[in-house]
Amino acid sequence: MHDDRSLVEARLRRVLDERLRPAVYPESVPLDVAVWHAPDEPVPVAEGLAAEPEPIAVGARWGAPWGTSWFRVTGTVPEAWAGKTVEALLDLGFDENMPGFQCEGLVYWPDGTPVKGLNPRNQWVRIGAPVEGGEEVRLHVEAASNPVILDYHPFLPTRLGDKETAGAEPQYRLARMDLAVLDETVWQLVIDLEVLGELMAELPVESARRWEILRAVEKALDAIDLQDVNGTAAQARVRLETVLSEPAVASAHRVSAIGHAHIDSAWLWPLRETVRKVARTTSNMTALLDDEPEFVFAMSQAQQWAWVRDHRPEVWARVKKAVADGRFVPAGGMWVESDTNMPGSEAMARQFVHGKRFFLDEFGVENEEAWLPDTFGFAAGLPQIIKAAGSKWLLTQKISWSQTNKFPHHTFRWEGIDGTQIFTHFPPVDTYNCSMKGSEIAHAARNFKDKGAARHSLAPTGWGDGGGGTTREMVAKAARLRDLEGSATVAWETPKEFFTKAEAEYPEPPVWVGELYLELHRATLTSQAKTKQGNRRSEHLLREAELWAATAAVRTGFPYPYEELDRIWKTVLLHQFHDILPGSSIAWVHREARRTYERLADELNGIIDAAQRALAGEGTRELLFNAAPHGRAGVAAGGAGTAVVEGRTTVTERPGGGHVLDNGILRVEVDARGLAVSVYDIEADRETIAPGRGGNLLQLHPDFPNMWDAWDVDEFYRNTVTDLTDVDELAPEGHGVRIVRTFGGSRVTQVLSLAPGERRLLVDTEVDWHETEKFLKLAFPLDVHAERYASETQFGHFHRPTHTNTSWEAAKFEACNHRFVHLEEPGWGVAIVNDSTYGHDVTRTVRTDADRGTTTTVRVSLLRAPRFPDPETDQGVHHFRHALVPGAGIGDAVREGWRINLPERVGPGAEEVAPLVTVDQDAVVVTAVKLADDGSGDVVVRFHEAHGGRARATLTAGFEVAGVTATDLLERPWADAPALRREGNEVSLRLRPFELVTLRFTRA
């Protein structure tokens, strides 16, 4: 037989494009359209419906950036269409290639009932099936003219990312506004041919199945009269029945399709627009559920569910019914799909607490999976948090974006720092916007790494980010792929159904130990410094507020601010979303975030101040309130008392320029360049700084990644560096020296100080930053030989190599830490602690001089200046605090990390305050002291082993205890907790390395 394959395939493409798809709507009449433009921000639905619109013609421009326009669409169904299916086709000016990234609409009936969303791939509204003819049609469309930020030429700087700078130029041109007859037979034929054509293209040319499909398609095309497509479509479908009914082979890969619409809670749009994106999508999906009995849709992020409940009650009623029917599934059990690298221990725990509790309270649904398809890597402390929240599975897709190394598994057990393992799945379809294309399903089957041991994967199916979710075309394709020879099989299933089957099929999958590092988007650890600082400060203020409010409630009857703390926690958790905290959103988002963090700080400081005054009483005695989990200046952790400070610091001139700081513990030499050329540990007789080098070295790099400006830093940035050693001013100040430098358009003021009695060199840095596409680092070259170093993560720390033996280590050239980085030789180490930074890098070189020692350089990432999506990223004044701690063991690193983040509070009072809870073991760190969320008055204490070893500990309650229970994160009794021994107000237990424990004390 002659090879006519290319000829038939080309014929199929043209007939689909030029004859069949246009014939889906064979008859149409124009609708009348009028529009009212809301003057500023979106208005309530009733106001939009009641507004008096002005006529507008198809082809007219509309929609200032971030504006809202209410279209009224009216018309009459022709009498001649009686008995036919009729739909309104409403094209606001869509680009079909940009679902979720441009204008969108929500359609209402005149009484305000939402109908469905309008999106580039979802432009129809069903009027009747069938119609009687003569019906009057009246629809209202709430249309959002969101500007296109990420265009065909991506990453170009734009002022459209903030309403204050976006201007008023109309963004869109009104396109088709018609009533049309839907020919369902032609529509079904189009789906038939798309499925077969896409499947055919994925099969080997030598495959018999490919040629069977080709011949069937050819016969179907022969049956179509191109001058009468609507009259001949049915007979064309008949010629495809046999080839569409051939069952899949028994060994075919199995795909669990889950309706999905990944909606970034903020990104290239502000939070207020996400509220509307979610309403449009949920309207779409509840409508689709009504039409498609096998379809199942899952939505994560409790915050987004809460937005629907609070802002769109009419949509919420439909959602609740669909949930009750088991087909609209709450997924993930987190408040938002957060970043997981940077949130602190308690914040990561509270993501699950608030997310799971929302779904339990609203629907009685207990989530067992963590659902994070788009998060930029996963910290090594996360598995035990997932387990402690009562969950056991994790889904993500993002690791497939890694640039250097291909992850070796799609289904595996992920082991965290404490040994907890979580059954984890990476969908091999490699997208969380699957559209049921044959190429996607074939890629999932081919790409699946665990063939032979397993054959089940998941495909999140639907357009995200306001693109409308799953479409009826996707559902129709999935129906044809349910059991089709040559393809993987496809079935709609819930996340629980998928994970249950996958885990049963693969009970002993391979194990991956440690962080799931994304080899991409590393700069998100640094971009938008003020957002990161606001997050870090909020986390610690919340700790203080809960601690002091709980202490005051137990001791004095102080009214515990349950509602305020709940609201503030949810706001902080929202801003940990994986495009807000990472700094990858538009200017509008980060401008609002800064204001929000300022407001939260005022509220939390008010709670803290009120609780401390209630505890200390009226008096003139100066009290130090210590919210850290370790004693400080003679004041116990969680208590208040008189500070005891011993020793003194001298500041003298240094021969050759600069100054010497000495407090009897450390002697620090700061040279004329403002560099710490010596940080000498007097007791250990040990130098911290590598020979011939200087600590506190600011280094400036060019920073223009190949793409994803706010997200990425590419390794070649290191090829060019400028050491900032010129000094404008250098003078003593207090217990240290003040250094001023200028470079480019920027100015840096630093104070290096050595307080009496302290083993830490404080580095306070103020940067007035006005650079573009630059990366600012703060370097400490250390005289330490270490093959690995520790970075703090949630409820512990994680070790990374300092070498680059393999591509896996080399790819981690920028990594995340929380409060500390620690390096150690046996018996002596160094910690670098911070109050607000996350990104860092660690490198090592062997010196070639006589001592042949090793220089290990730790560099803290301070600031970047990308121009997309916010062209003014980080411009302005920033404050950072770091400390270099020589002679530090891991326990010192933990303690100093907490200390720098919980600065001392000093205020007047009448008497000292005893801690509500004390721990007799320094390795056991208390991360939360609070009252139980249920309002019972029980005291909840959360703690973990922080040094990486086993620990015995006794917790003593500073109040009478009637009982104590080990709980999960949601404060429910938990069987997996360690055994407890209680005697009176004391509880003793043993902890494994990094073990996380929550205890609930019932007060007598």
CA distances from 740 to 23, 655, 705, 750, 767 (A): 72, 20, 30, 6, 10
The residue whose two tokens read 């109040």 is 959
From CA 320, how far away is CA 195, in angstroms rounded?
34
Find out whether 767 and 863 touch, Cβ atoms under 8 Å.
yes
The widest CA-to-CA distance across the chain, in whole angstroms, is 102
Cβ contacts of 655 within 8 Å, gap of 6 or more: none
Give the three-class secondary structure for 487: coil
CB 851 within 8 A of CB 877: no
Helices (H) and strands (E) in the chain, counts: 20, 53
Peptide bond into 510 cis (omega under 30): no
DSSP-derived pairing of the beta strands 114-118 and 650-653: unpaired
CA distances from 287 to 114, 472, 551 (A): 10, 10, 51
User: Which of 95, 151, 374, 430 is flagged as catalytic?
Assistant: 374
User: Looking at the DSSP assignment, which residues form a beta bridge with residue 670?
Assistant: 659, 676
DSSP H stretches of helix in 79-205: 184-202
Say if strands 67-76 and 177-181 run parallel, antiparallel, or are unpaired.
Answer: unpaired
Closest to 675 (Cα-Cα) out of 762, 766, 752: 752
Strand order in the sheet with 666-670: 650-653, 659-662, 666-670, 676-681, 686-687
Distance separating alpha carbons of residues 86 and 108, to the nearest angstrom? 17
Active site residue 374: yes
Structure tokens at 102: 């441009």
Q: Where do runs of H (alpha helix) occur along 718-768?
A: none
State phi, psi for 218 to the nearest 5 degrees.
Answer: -60, -45
What whole-number distance in Å separates Cα of residue 285 and Cα of residue 301? Answer: 16
- Residue 461 host element (H or E): strand 456-461
User: In angstroms, what CA-CA distances link 215 with 206, 225, 274, 338?
Assistant: 14, 18, 48, 50
**Residues whose CB falls within 8 Å of the CB of residue 919, separated by 6 or more in sequence, listed in order:** 629, 637, 926, 943, 953, 954, 955, 956
- Phi, psi of 597, deg, nearest 5: -60, -40
Residue 656 and residue 677: Cα distance in Å, rounded? 12
The residue type at 93: G
Residues 6+ apart with CB under 8 A from 606: none
Phi, psi of 749 (to 5 degrees): -120, 125
Pairwise CA distance, residues 319 & 313, whole Å: 10
Whether 821 contacts 537, CB under 8 Å: no
Cα distances (Å, whole numbers) of residue 701 to 261, 698, 710, 715, 876:
39, 10, 15, 11, 19
The encoded tokens of residue 307 equal 């937005």
Q: Are 803 and 843 in contact (CB under 8 A)?
A: no
Q: Report how far residue 201's alpha carbon sits from residue 732's, in angstroms, rounded to the nearest whole number.
A: 74
Q: From CA 696, how far away is CA 661, in angstroms rounded?
A: 15
Catalytic site residues? Answer: 374
